[in-house]
Structures are given as C-alpha cells and as structure tokens.
A and B are shown apart, each in its own frame.
Chain A
Amino acid sequence: SQQGEEDPQALSIQEGENATMNCSYKTSINNLQWYRQNSGRGLVHLILIRSNEREKHSGRLRVTLDTSKKSSSLLITASRAADTASYFCATDSLNTNAGKSTFGDGTTLTVKP
C-alpha cells in the first residue's frame, strides 16, 4: 500500500488562481518531496522539505510540513496552463537510509486558460 495520500484526487482551476494540494502519510519520515508528472512522461522533482523544516518556497511553489499531523501541502500561486499535470508527494521513511521514496497516488491538476 502507498505511504502517502494526496487530496484532492483532481482539481480544476482557472489560470491565475492558486492551487492547493494536500498529502498525508503514515510513518515517520526523513523528508518529503513533491514531484510533477506531465501526461505519460517521467517525474520532475519540484521541492524537498526535511522533517525539521516547516515551510519552504521555490518560485511560485510553497510547501508546508506538519510532522505532528503527518501532512504536507503544496501551494502553486498564480497558476498557468503549463502547470496542468499530476502532482505526487513522496516520503523517505526513517526506517531506511536507501533514499527510496514511497509515493501517493497523486492529484491531477487542470488549469484552464
């Protein structure tokens, strides 16, 4: 079974609006990462947040992490049509130093022009 669960499963917004996606996970983690995947293609790494961090920014992306609630959120501000993609959170468990990631099933974001 997957470690992470993204919410919502699908999100449709207008260009220029903000998009917020949430991720919940089950076990203690070293870090949490967000990836983007365009239809039928490989994953692109967006941002990493470590377990001792609470918030991180990268361009139009803002990620928060609440380890007490075992949850994270990804905010994309001023969305563009090119942001249309699936977004996955991935966690690296404390129980391994392999760096292998456990992914959720993703949020499919559609940004309408």
Chain B
Amino acid sequence: DTGVSQDPRHKITKRGQNVTFRCDPISEHNRLYWYRQTLGQGPEFLTYFQNEAQLEKSRLLSDRFSAERPKGSFSTLEIQRTEQGDSAMYLCASSLRGVEQYFGPGTRLTVT
C-alpha cells in the first residue's frame, strides 16, 4: 500500500503530557498538510509544508503545537502539555502541486 500512513492510529494520554504523531506521505508528493477534526465537524487546517519548508500555520496552532518535516519526507506533529480540548482526530494529507489531497487514516487522540 503506497498511500499516506499515520502512526499511531490511537493515542490516549493524560493531561499535561507531550505527544508526537508521525505522518508518512505518498513518496513523490511535495506538499504535506495537517488537519484536526472533532466529532461532527469537518477537518480544520492546521499547517502545511512544501518540501521541508513550513509555509503556513493556522491560528489554531497554538505555541504548544509544533510540526516538522526535516527532510521533506515524513512529518511529525508534537503537542506539548496536552489539554482535554486537544482531543480530536489529527489527519495528515499529501498532494502533488497542491490540488487533490490524499488523506491518511488519522490519529485519534484522547486526553484524559
């Protein structure tokens, strides 16, 4: 399977802990996106990379959130000092030339 993969698929953590998620995009795709989705709502844009450069960040991405794509391939999204409001599905997508996006299965985060 050469689609977008995300790891882990599920993460349960206690409030105040740090968590890190990984996304592996489709290999030839130069753009990578992170979205957050809460129950009953559509995905909300968080940030995007073109190759290794992070070109845009949403205001939703507080200073507790950081994302990297060090070699222009996989990406990580870290949340520090997690809060219950961070509980959501975190979706990664990749694209070539930024039109059609291919989504991964998501990482479901539960903060207790």
18 example contacts (A-B, Cβ-Cβ < 8 A) are as follows A2-B41, A2-B42, A2-B44, A31-B99, A33-B100, A40-B89, A41-B105, A42-B104, A43-B93, A92-B99, A98-B55, A98-B98, A99-B31, A99-B48, A99-B99, A103-B35, A103-B42, A106-B41
Q: Please tell me if A68 contacts chain B, counting CB pairs below 8 Å.
A: no
When C-beta atoms are compared, the residue in chain B nearest to A108 turns out to be: B40
The smallest beta-carbon distance between A9 and chain B, in angstroms, is: 9
Q: Please tell me if A15 contacts chain B, counting CB pairs below 8 Å.
A: no
With contacts A48-B100, A105-B42, A106-B42 taken as known, whether A43 is within 8 angstroms of B91 at the C-beta atoms is yes
- Interface-centre pick from A31, A33, A48, A98 (highest chain B CB count, 10 A): A98
> Quick one: CB contact mask for B73-106 with A, threshold 8 Å, 1 for yes?
0000000000000000101010101111111111
Interface set, chain A 7-47, CB cutoff 8 A to B: 31, 33, 35, 40-45
The smallest beta-carbon distance between A8 and chain B, in angstroms, is: 14
Instruction: Give chain A's interface residues, CB within 8 Å of chain B.
Output: 2, 4, 31, 33, 35, 40-45, 48, 88, 90, 92, 96-106
Q: B43, A103: Cβ atoms under 8 Å?
A: yes
The smallest beta-carbon distance between A53 and chain B, in angstroms, is: 13
When C-beta atoms are compared, the residue in chain A nearest to B89 turns out to be: A40
Q: A101, B101: Cβ atoms under 8 Å?
A: yes
Could you tell me the distance between the alpha carbons of A26 and B22 in the complex, rounded to whole angstroms? 33
Q: A48, B105: Cβ atoms under 8 Å?
A: no
With contacts A98-B55, A103-B44, A104-B42 taken as known, whether A40 is within 8 angstroms of B101 at the C-beta atoms is no
When C-beta atoms are compared, the residue in chain B nearest to A100 turns out to be: B45
With contacts A42-B104, A42-B105 taken as known, whether A48 is within 8 angstroms of B42 at the C-beta atoms is no
Q: Please tell me if B33 contacts chain A, counting CB pairs below 8 Å.
A: yes
